[in-house]
A and B are shown apart, each in its own frame.
Chain A
Amino acid sequence: MNLDLLTSHIIESSNDVIISISLDGNINYCNYATVKNYGYAKEELLDKPYHILLPQEKLAELAKIMESLMFGEYIDTLESIRLSKDQKRIKVSVVFSPVKNNMGKLIGFSIIERRLTEYRKAESRSQALIETAPDAMVIVNNCGQIILVNGQAEKLFGYTRNELLGQDIEILIPDRFLDKHSSHRKSFFSNPHTRGMGRDMELWGKKKNGEEFPVEVSLGPLRTEETLLVSAAIRDISERKYAEEKFKRLLESAPDPMVIVDQNGAITLINGQTENLFGYSRDELLGQQIELLIPGKFRAQHPEYRKKFFQNPKLRPMGMNLELFGLKKNGEEFPVEISLSPIQEKDSMLVSAAIRDISDRKYIKQLEQKNRELEQFAYIASHDLQEPLHTVKSFVQLLKTDYHNQLDHQAQQFLSFIFQSTSRMEKLIYGLLEYSRIGKQKQLSLVDCNKLLKEVIDDLHAKIVEAKATIHVDHLPTIDAYKTELWQLFQNLLSNAIKFRKQDVDPIIHISCIQNNNESTFSIQDNGIGIQSKFFDKIFIIFQRLHFREDFEGTGIGLAQCKKIVELHGGKIWLESNPGMGSNFLFTI
């Protein structure tokens, strides 16, 4: 085979487009690959200008190249675009070479063009790869330009692929993070390393429509021979955030302090009530070991309990009769009740602990206990004290009657003092007994106060007549009350109003009641001697008296009793008064 024929075969069989053009730019040869690639028949190209294969924007490029070639400059392989007969753009790599004759004279140029199919294939392979990723993937070059995205990214951000390619990655980031982001990006490129998702960073994405949404982003460096790329996997966590927010709100609305702890005992979530109870701020607690909130003496065993709980996690309600204690930031220990419940997360187990401060309850319990003991004591004491007292009184009485004639004046006076004192003590003890008996037989019932007061007034008839007292009673309500106690209350207040009258003014007493909001405010208004405001508290204390006994008889128990009765009904008692201006005793029930 002659050499020319072989050359001709080689050229015609080549997959590369081979074209020869004359100095004036007209095609004088093209091979079969030209036909195959660009869709023209050979005849359609021969003697036509080469630039009919070029898109408009590449004409200048061609002119420049031709010029360089004329000047004998070497042209590197370049990438360009060619148009097929049906105006399809075809990406090609092009090699221009001068064609010289035997004499070395430039007679034209050869152009070898290769479709960039191989490159395209390579690109689509990585495309295919990132399409399989579950998350939105964006690959960015070292200038921060997006060079590859997957369908998930298009969907997530609302852009088409073409809108994203070549853009700065910042297009996907809310404006308020832009400053930080470019510096983050630079520092990442200077020290590229894989960064996993969920590093407790609050990250946000921005959609084409401007909508922002919380994301988690993992970054990985992608080294190619020429350059460093970064692949970013982006996960929309709106749903999870929403669920988290909902959970947090739920947590905040819980009445008790709540602490959520992971398997390692680290606090992952708390509510505001926890901050208040323990005196730590949220920041001081998150990430800390739960043992921080446990007093020293219980701290050592706690991790063991924790481990056991996680081995067999199940709900443990409050009030299991466990003596548990919490530790505040200020070092104060306090009794708590704790309920535990496991929370199964996707890949881990958490436990939520509801903590209830029961100091008050413990304190109230102790107080109630003390109160009961005290009442019991007063009751028994006053009861038992009466016995010897009666004995003393009886013997004094005997002395007085049997030895009357044998006793001188002073002895008789002594005896009378003894008698006076024992009588007084009798009254005091009786009062104490009455006082401690208040509320002993609790029996709430509907009491018609009009009827009740009529009874009380009947009972005080003698005193009322003696004092020439006038008593006005408004219409009174029917209330839920302890009848005996209420009777006692009205009797005490009414007899006080009669007792502490002015010497020269007949007592006028007005009893009334105002009702609102389920609460009745009773008023017993008199025109008596009145009370200085500095004694307003003192008069309700047992055995406190403002007057000498001979001026106003009494034991100092009545108002203490009233207070106890009102408080038994959950109400308040107080007074308005000025010396000489009468008193108004008010109480609520």
Chain B
Amino acid sequence: MKKINSILLVDDDDIINYLNKIIITRMDIALNVESVRSGDMALEYLKKITVEQNQQPELILLDINMPRMDGWQFLEEYKNIKHEFLKEPIIVMFTTSINPDDREKARHIVEVSGFKCKPLSEQILNELLLEFPELTN
């Protein structure tokens, strides 16, 4: 099984990012795990990374509620830069929200491929690997 090249975590809570990094690292499914703390930081990161293509994340776990620029706003902006990727990353909304409206809203955004609820666990990651076999092929 191939490892995921890079995973980008977007969450304003640094403790959560820290925890999620530990979980992903222990499963040993990714070569690289990066984290940023808001939508604008994620955009900045992606713009930089498109220049250095080999670092491009294959999976993005995107929180919704963040200061400065939330998940939805990020997606709006992301539309404008996605064409710069050779292969678009898989974006999964990753949130504490159990509000069905959010899930519904996500379903109507083409850039979003999945919707998972926090907290991150081995089980959730396994589900993602099953849902998106292209990540490990």
Residue positions of A touching B, CB distance < 8 A: 417, 420-421, 543-548
**Given A548-B12, A548-B37, A417:B18 Cβ within 8 A:** yes
Which 10 A-B pairs give the minimum distances between C-beta atoms? A545-B67, A417-B15, A546-B67, A547-B67, A421-B15, A548-B67, A548-B37, A546-B68, A548-B12, A420-B15
A417 to B12, CA, bound (A): 15
Note all chain B residues with C-beta closer than 8 A to A544.
Answer: 65
Q: Is the interface of A mostly helix, strand, loop or mixed?
A: loop
Note all chain A residues with C-beta closer than 8 A to B19.
Answer: 417
A548 to B15, CA, bound (A): 13
A126 to B116, CA, bound (A): 101
CB distance from A421 to the nearest CB of B (A): 6
Note all chain A residues with C-beta closer than 8 A to B18.
Answer: 417
Q: A421, A545, A546, A548 — which one has the most chain B CB atoms within 10 A of its CB?
A: A548
CB distance from B115 to the nearest CB of A (A): 20
CB distance from A546 to the nearest CB of B (A): 5
Note all chain B residues with C-beta closer than 8 A to A546.
Answer: 67-68
Closest to B38 in A: A548
Note all chain B residues with C-beta closer than 8 A to A417.
Answer: 15, 18-19
Note all chain A residues with C-beta closer than 8 A to B65.
Answer: 543-544
Residue positions of B touching A, CB distance < 8 A: 12, 15, 18-19, 37-38, 65, 67-68
Given A421-B15, A548-B67, 14 extra CB contacts under 8 A: A417-B15, A417-B18, A417-B19, A420-B15, A543-B65, A544-B65, A545-B67, A546-B67, A546-B68, A547-B67, A547-B68, A548-B12, A548-B37, A548-B38
Note all chain A residues with C-beta closer than 8 A to B15.
Answer: 417, 420-421
CB distance from B75 to the nearest CB of A (A): 16
CB distance from B49 to the nearest CB of A (A): 22
A547 to B69, CA, bound (A): 10
CB distance from B104 to the nearest CB of A (A): 19
Note all chain A residues with C-beta closer than 8 A to B68.
Answer: 546-547
A546 to B19, CA, bound (A): 23
A417 to B21, CA, bound (A): 14
Note all chain A residues with C-beta closer than 8 A to B38.
Answer: 548
CB distance from B101 to the nearest CB of A (A): 14
Note all chain B residues with C-beta closer than 8 A to A543.
Answer: 65
Closest to B73 in A: A534
A113 to B63, CA, bound (A): 124
A363 to B90, CA, bound (A): 43
Note all chain B residues with C-beta closer than 8 A to A547.
Answer: 67-68
CB distance from A308 to the nearest CB of B (A): 49
Note all chain A residues with C-beta closer than 8 A to B37.
Answer: 548
A544 to B67, CA, bound (A): 7
Note all chain A residues with C-beta closer than 8 A to B67.
Answer: 545-548
Q: B15, B19, B38 — which one has the most chain A CB atoms within 10 A of its CB?
A: B15
A546 to B37, CA, bound (A): 12
**13 examples of A-B residue contacts, CB within 8 angstroms:** A417-B18, A417-B19, A420-B15, A421-B15, A543-B65, A544-B65, A545-B67, A546-B67, A546-B68, A547-B67, A548-B12, A548-B37, A548-B38
